[in-house]
Amino acid sequence: MPSQQLALNSVGAFPKLFLDYISKNENLEKFYNQYPDIQGFRKAIEARKFTDDKRKTLVSVLENQYQKLENKPNFSVLLKQNTFTVTTGHQLNIFTGPLYVIYKIVTIINLAKKLKAEFPSYNFVPIYWMASEDHDFAEIASFNLFGKTYQWQTEQKGAVGRMNPVELQAIFDEMPEKTALFEEAYLKNNTLADAVRQYMNQLFGSEGLICLDADEAALKSIFSEIIKDDLLNNQANKIVHQTSEELNEMGYHTQISPREINFFYLQNQLRERITKEGADYKILNTDIHFLESEILQILDSQPENFSPNVVLRPLYQETILPNLAYIGGPSEVPYWLQLKGIFDYYGEQFPLLMPRNFALVVNQASQKRMDKLGISAEELFVDEVTLRRSFVERNSENSLSLAFEIDDVNEIFERILKKSLAIDQTMKGPVEAEKVKIISSLENLEKRIKKAEERNQEMSVTQLLALKQKLFPEGGLQERKENFLNYYLNDNAFITKILAEFDPLDYSFNIIDI
């Protein structure tokens, strides 16, 4: 399965802040601790501190969450002071969601292996942080398989990890092929979080992956002092606003905005923002409200009722895990750069920020079409208009450009202008106007010539655009649209092949032939 690598800045799909970070732009150094390379990991290992009590709590939670599953991971390794985690996170999209979710997990698995080879006296555990508390159901409720979109219909509300996935039976009834892996997980578990843990364990458990659902009272209690401080003092709001202003002044677009209070109130069927009005803490879109003493009492007795938003979720993660690195996509890495000041304020080590692996998968049928058309996968990354134009020009037996003729016109009019000005200085305007008219006519003729040649190559152009649509659905990257089942159902070794192909510390875009 040979792979070709493209520079990320040549793909045309990633934000400037992300690309500048990966290219080590020195202006961004203040927004992170270490760059994600081997030397950076060496420094992070030396600096990372994590208490035995936190390790015991973490292992106890994991043992409880995995108690119903067979072939459990080895949690005891997390009790050792020489064990660290590398983490990625994502929403609980049904059927794993976009292909890049699989790429994120493969990246952390390979990173753990690479770090073990580089630092053999330490242990490294890949962690999938399940975004079970997220309540944006619309973002997780559909997936694309073989050109069709499947949608989960439900009236359930609140944190998606607590939802019962039994309604997914309707999707199984529609799907063209049986998927026992998902049917067993979704239809035999009472919560989406449990279902995701089960199928992820089947897919990646043998590679050492551990799935963590942080919607747990024991874990929230570790974080309770920070929850309390945010409720009372709103420091995260001030710090992130300041960092965001700095990045904006540098010309970057910032992605997240802090709130005065960066927590939701979480109960079954409910996850709503906590706000403060006067002396009252109110839960948006409800009649629930508390005095300060009351909400602090709830925090003390029921810390699981408090759910961090995007601003403080990363800090929660690093507070409860012996973590070294967070692996994210081109949107995640930039927003983490807005957060280092929060980590500094609360005295928590800021992790190394790593991009996940990126890829375009080219199957045999698509490769044959590319060979027939005489085009490479790299050429397909441009927009359709540019792709079509360059393809037609390259494959035409005739020159389609009138550039030389336009140059000739310019030269002729230079001579005409010289003669005209020798007779009458007011002739410059009329001469220039005539030149513009003629050149405009030639440019229009050139467009008509190219259109005519496109018609001559209509069959090949149609095949080319169909190939582009196949590999770049809706004009976007394949990994953001397609589901891994498009490949896994035809080849159960697909994940194994991806594991063998990706290098977690090679920050390039992979083109993979399978």
Q: What is the pLDDT of residue 398?
A: 59
Whether the CB-CB separation of 345 and 239 falls below 8 Å is answered with yes
Whether the CB-CB separation of 281 and 292 falls below 8 Å is answered with yes
Q: What residue ranges do the domains of the chain occupy?
A: 3-216+309-359+493-513, 225-305, 362-477
Given the DSSP bridges, would you call strands 148-151 and 142-145 parallel, antiparallel or unpaired? antiparallel
- 294: Cα separation from own chain's centroid: 39
Of the candidates 131, 118, 130, the residue with the CA atom closest to the CA atom of residue 36: 118
* pLDDT tens digit at each of 514 positions of the chain: 557 899 999 999 999 999 999 999 999 999 999 999 999 999 999 999 999 999 999 999 999 999 999 889 999 999 999 999 999 999 999 999 999 999 999 999 999 999 999 999 999 999 999 999 999 999 999 999 998 999 999 999 999 999 999 999 999 999 998 899 999 999 999 999 999 999 999 999 999 999 999 999 999 999 999 999 999 999 999 999 999 999 999 999 999 999 999 999 999 999 999 999 999 999 999 999 999 999 999 999 999 999 999 999 999 999 999 999 999 999 999 999 999 999 999 999 999 999 999 999 999 899 999 998 999 999 999 999 899 888 877 766 555 555 777 787 788 888 888 888 888 888 888 888 988 888 888 778 777 766 766 666 677 888 889 999 999 999 999 999 999 999 999 899 999 999 999 999 999 999 998 8
Distance CA(255)–CA(153), nearest Å, equals 30
Whether the CB-CB separation of 185 and 198 falls below 8 Å is answered with yes
Q: What is the pLDDT of residue 391?
A: 81
Q: What is the pLDDT of residue 456?
A: 61
Given the DSSP bridges, would you call strands 508-513 and 352-355 parallel, antiparallel or unpaired? unpaired
In three-state secondary structure terms, 417 is helix
Q: What is the pLDDT of residue 450?
A: 67
Whether the CB-CB separation of 5 and 311 falls below 8 Å is answered with no
Distance CA(131)–CA(108), nearest Å, equals 17
Whether the CB-CB separation of 450 and 398 falls below 8 Å is answered with no
Q: What is the pLDDT of residue 401?
A: 59
